[in-house]
Structure 1
């Protein structure tokens, strides 16, 4: 195989790609000159011919990849990028030729001939066979192109890691531009080489792979540094905003809607949450629980029936816990001894409120409670979107810690706001509502990991401690 160098100044593929497509063209021309008279025979030959051309194209792409793998050791950054770019362009050049096969081999004439001799089934057979071959070959060529791009990003990985670490470790006294500058200079110099060496389609593919790699690296860095100063996350927020502008290139690069999808959204949310105070994170935790509760329509952990109504003049919230059904069995006898803890959350919004609990109902999965509880709730408190009632169903154990059976939440906005039926004198006569229980492990939530990392924050540690107690009771069952 010839050297991986462009054949001329304005072409970005090498002579070997031209040789391959020229060979393919000669085969195609020979077939055209044969002017095969039998449609069924022509179909067989074209099927085999297409299969052979597709197979050889994929084989050529694999040879290019092996050549890159052999040559990459000891090469400087610029030379490696240029050679790999030529290999990518060669693959794209051959791939573009294959896309012309339906026209060059006159598939339509074969389709028409087969339709005339065999009907619609004959035409469908031609379509299925030939298009299937072309589709599979295209997937294989794209796969080989991705492998070449992976070689490129792997080669850049040590440098990128060093620049991300520089941003991560830069002291607060260094401004954001200076912290990000080494990374951007490296990307600028690399982009100059890529732009000169790659055809447009390949440049977009390489830029996208590079963008995904940088997002993953920043995500890893943020995950490894939870609980640090807010300035750390602000700096990485500045970094991704700078990178978005770089890869978008004022509309000449990647599309903004593509850049701001997938891992970008995950990273943006991670940075946003890490910049929050502990109280704000706890509020976000309950907002997520409220959102999950609204879409929970069925549960294998059972359900609880309650009534809530609010006396605005007295600022008193009444909670009736009526009954539960289909609870999970947590005792050896196949039953449970359930009781319900009801409380206002988050606790920092209700510092004077205490949790209350029902009586224990022995040996049942369908307990009837019929108990009333009262809470003082001011308008300033219920106006918070995260303000809610939590209902925690526990299984009472005589000799060990109680077991967690499930929980549900109800936002105060559902029954405290002016105009709500529950906030009127008729609230007592309203029908009860059903809450399905969930049983998620708190440690699986990113917010929990963020709070746990804040070892010097008393409120964060106390919140984590309470949730870990619930999780521990789940593990001991």
Structure 2
């Protein structure tokens, strides 16, 4: 652990800070963002769900919120209308007060929701109007002297259901008669609905009501209309009769018509409605139809009842607006309602007064809604009201405004009110961040504001009406000359301006006193994080709301503005910082101490900022997929190009220094029991891994830039691998050298093995590391961006860099292995020499050398990796082969006896057995050849000669057609008797001048020294023919040992006899191995014929012949070589 800390202290943990620690920091930041996103989403889901599920009744009961309250700033020019605008010309407070007293005195209807006496109403109205007692008494007396008002009971007969059938057809022809019991003679009838039990009328009636009619009752009677028909017409409907009851009714009707000729309507049922039960605001109710002597109801009828008057509408509306204003101001003052909270609920007294005034003034629903909208929007400027109030009122007014059922004055009043309301709406959107987004009240407020805007978009304002005057909306981007009524554009500008204000607010409240570059980077990181939080809240809380209500992408609008502001803030600072980075100059083989401690001044903050921008850009890709390509911040990575380049330069310098320190601190002990490499290899790969982590974190978007950086990283990593190999080699120089009074020797140590393993471990990791840098993907993108040919060239360049580095490191490994082998060579050579001299004798020297080799090989096998152990064995074999080659040649020159070479071979085999640690190990081809040389030089001359013959027989196996003809023979063993039949020859090489031959065949058994007692048979001479027929069979008796001799041969020597029979010439020879001769008791004629190619020796430059030639003092060898050379004489033409 201390060594690891010491390595990191070399560069102050440079790679960890920019690798794993930077990644960890980025992951923590990312996890924090995700956590905040999840928490924000969960809170938003809860709040939004509650808002969607919340009913109007719940809203009225909820407790006053403690949200941050804010009064909207309205330009002074917006106060052009004053309170007097809502008082009609010719009216004053006293007149209005007198009118309200009059209406209280002549109260109409009965509101079931209130039980308020006149005294309470008088007291309330006196407080609201701030009237003195004297003035109140004076005006009350005037009101009492005035005549009662003309009040009407407005009745709408809407429909009836489940009417009892009165006709024989099972239906009824109903109509309704209505009247007041105080004036039953004045009746009103609806139209008749034929043949139905569920009639729909929707007809209106107005019945005059006096002040004394409060105890009166409204009667509703439903009748079945009976048309005037003759008996004949009645009988014509016989087939329309249904059921038993229908038959009875039909018979009764016919009988009555026939006897009396009368046609009377039949009562279905009736309902009685006391006027005192009708509230002043009116009501719609279902009433049961009852009839005497009937226990069950005869159906139900639906009616709408309301009181009204015949007052001038304009005057009444002005009075109502003024009354609303006075009462609302009084309510707000007395109840201390929080801003944005009042949603239209007056106290009981105020509600009763307002209702009486609207009823007795004959105001319609539209009149009331318009009055409320005008008054509320005016008061909203000074005391903000709940936006839901305006949303509901606009909803009531949309249709009348769209259908032009209101007057021009009323339409102008509406749009003037809208003009007063909108600044507050847009101010709410602009200052949305000053309210807590996780409270229902805030979200509900934004939702209602958006509903207001969406409602207004559906209505066209009057011509030349300027909805957004520049003096009220100084932040608008509108540049047109005409009036501005574009709500969508204003909404976009309000959101953008709000975001811009918020960004400025963040900047102002996060100014840092640390003017260092690192302090600036930290500050920019904080600002980006705050902006991201705002975007996340926008996404989770508001974006869906804006899209559903206004079809407006709120979060996208914010991002478009923020990306411009962030790019403007960050780009110049980052570019300047990257340009200011100091370049490090160094030599790969010599490092300056002053620059060794050169820090990266900006630390990790620069790249933390890079990663923060990276995440911000990814967020933009999701929010603005269509506009992403046009964003300047998309190319943020270009700002950091110089910084990344400088970092890579610094990184390779730091890597070399750390590698040097790692090798220095390495104790060359395995990291643990499961591996065969030490700490420096792990430290080196850790550097590479940290660089890769850094590169992965960058996730460089630009293809060409990625290729440039990856190429540099690969080149630098490859150089570091070579550097590590060099430093590791230097680290083990001199280790293992042992000197004592007897000798100087080298012992293989575990340090040497681990050094070799370390280099190989780093080498093996190089190619996988470069593959993980994403080179293949970059090459593929280059192919698509440019051309496959360019991509192929780039790939080829990088592959060359990697392969060259791998080869260099591999050569360094081989160099170390050869060094180990060369240091072991003297001991191996001494063992071989002493073994050749003293193998058959007991020798402590040989045992000592064998122990030395055995111990070293055990060390190599234990500590080297399997691949490196096999590799060093190959080098040992090659080295051993060179030693033996020198020994063989030098001792041949010294005319050593065969026993020397045999002992040398035995010693070699002993050594090889020591070297072979497993059955799979095998020596190299060169060593096999040397061992073969030892084998043949260790043979006695006769044995060596026989090896030549065997070599000639092997050559024969590869001859398809004999150059000197072919010999046909048959042979068999029968017991220990050899039968040989020489049959004929073909195409014999002509030896005479006439082109013919006088040939015979001589049969010899080899090796000759084993068959000295055997006579060599030969055939008769066949004269003057190249196709002689010998047809001679020879019987040769052998001993059992002779028959079973290993590698026994039959030599057929074909010779030419001269004219006088004194000399013979050698034509050629053929061989037959004992293994090719069958054991049989059958006649030889039954055996297959064997065609043997006749050939001569052609190569004197074989190892066997060289061995024979080297035995110059051996008569047998000299004689054989002489004859062998004579056989090689070429034919003469």
Whether these two folds match at TM > 0.5 is: yes
Aligned to 1:10: 669
Aligned to 1:470: 1127
| 2:696 aligned with 1:32 | yes
Aligned to 1:388: 1049
TM-score, L = length of structure 2: 0.33
SS in 2 for 1:319: strand
CA contact (8 A) 1:310 1:318 kept: no
Counterparts of 2:750 and 2:1068 in 1: how far apart (Å)?
A: 60
CA contact (8 A) 1:237 1:271 kept: no
Counterparts of 2:991 and 2:1085 in 1: how far apart (Å)?
A: 40
Aligned to 2:820: 152
SS in 1 for 2:970: strand
SS in 1 for 2:1079: coil
Distance 1:70 1:415, change over 3 A: closer
Aligned to 1:323: 986
| Structure 1 residue 124 displacement after superposition | 9.1
Counterparts of 1:402 and 1:54 in 2: how far apart (Å)?
A: 75
Aligned to 2:960: 297
Any residues of structure 2 matched to 1:214-363 within 5 Å, and which?
Answer: 214=880, 216-218=882-884, 220-221=886-887, 224=891, 228=897, 230=899, 233-234=902-903, 236-237=905-906, 240-241=909-910, 243-245=912-914, 247-248=915-916, 254-259=917-922, 262=925, 265-266=928-929, 278-297=941-960, 301=963, 303-308=965-970, 317-324=980-987, 342-346=1002-1006, 347-351=1008-1012, 352-354=1014-1016, 356=1018
Counterparts of 1:271 and 1:61 in 2: how far apart (Å)?
A: 39
The answer to which of 387-396 and 111-120 deviates more is: 111-120
| 2:1095 aligned with 1:433 | no
* Cα-Cα RMSD: 5.4
Aligned to 1:186: 852
Residues 203-231 of structure 1, C-alpha deviations (whole Å, 9 max, x = no match): 55334423543355346545636863648
Residues 369-424 of structure 1, C-alpha deviations (whole Å, 9 max, x = no match): 344555442254565454434345679999xx99977543233554563167xx52
Residues 285-310 of structure 1, C-alpha deviations (whole Å, 9 max, x = no match): 434433442343356x4542423356
Any residues of structure 2 matched to 1:60-209 within 5 Å, and which?
Answer: 61=725, 88-102=756-770, 104-107=772-775, 109-110=777-778, 134-170=802-838, 172=840, 174-175=841-842, 178-188=844-854, 190-191=856-857, 201-209=867-875
Any residues of structure 2 matched to 1:40-59 within 5 Å, and which?
Answer: 42=706, 46=710, 49-51=713-715, 53-54=717-718, 57-58=721-722
Aligned to 1:251: none
SS in 2 for 1:317: strand
Counterparts of 2:690 and 2:987 in 1: how far apart (Å)?
A: 79
SS in 2 for 1:91: helix
The answer to which of 160-169 and 109-118 deviates more is: 109-118
CA contact (8 A) 1:340 1:391 kept: no
Which of 1079, 1084, 1088 aligns to 1:424? It is 1084
TM-score, L = length of structure 1: 0.68
CA contact (8 A) 1:342 1:389 kept: no
SS in 2 for 1:175: coil
The answer to which of 352-361 and 302-311 deviates more is: 352-361
Distance 1:171 1:260, change over 3 A: closer
Distance 1:358 1:119, change over 3 A: farther
| Structure 1 residue 81 displacement after superposition | 6.6
Counterparts of 1:406 and 1:50 in 2: how far apart (Å)?
A: 68
CA contact (8 A) 2:878 2:924 kept: no
Distance 1:158 1:356, change over 3 A: same
Distance 1:8 1:345, change over 3 A: same
Counterparts of 2:1047 and 2:861 in 1: how far apart (Å)?
A: 50
CA contact (8 A) 2:1109 2:1118 kept: yes
Distance 1:82 1:69, change over 3 A: closer
Residues 441-461 of structure 1, C-alpha deviations (whole Å, 9 max, x = no match): 255143x45555667766555
CA contact (8 A) 1:195 1:203 kept: yes
Counterparts of 1:358 and 1:89 in 2: how far apart (Å)?
A: 74
SS in 2 for 1:152: helix
Distance 1:185 1:410, change over 3 A: closer
Counterparts of 2:794 and 2:1058 in 1: how far apart (Å)?
A: 71
SS in 2 for 1:100: helix
Counterparts of 1:402 and 1:61 in 2: how far apart (Å)?
A: 72
Which of the two has higher C-alpha Rg? 2
State the structure with bigger RCO (CA 8 A, min sep 6), 1 or 2: 1
Q: What is the number of equivalent residue pairs in this alignment?
A: 451
The answer to which of 255-264 and 147-156 deviates more is: 255-264
Structure 2: gaps of 5 or more residues: 1-588, 590-659, 672-676, 740-744
SS in 2 for 1:377: strand
CA contact (8 A) 1:316 1:374 kept: yes
CA contact (8 A) 2:1109 2:1117 kept: yes
| Structure 1 residue 95 displacement after superposition | 0.6
CA contact (8 A) 2:718 2:802 kept: yes
Residues 66-102 of structure 1, C-alpha deviations (whole Å, 9 max, x = no match): x589979x99666997886565345224313304314
Counterparts of 1:377 and 1:49 in 2: how far apart (Å)?
A: 83
CA contact (8 A) 2:1054 2:1067 kept: yes
The answer to which of 23-32 and 7-16 deviates more is: 7-16
Aligned to 2:230: none
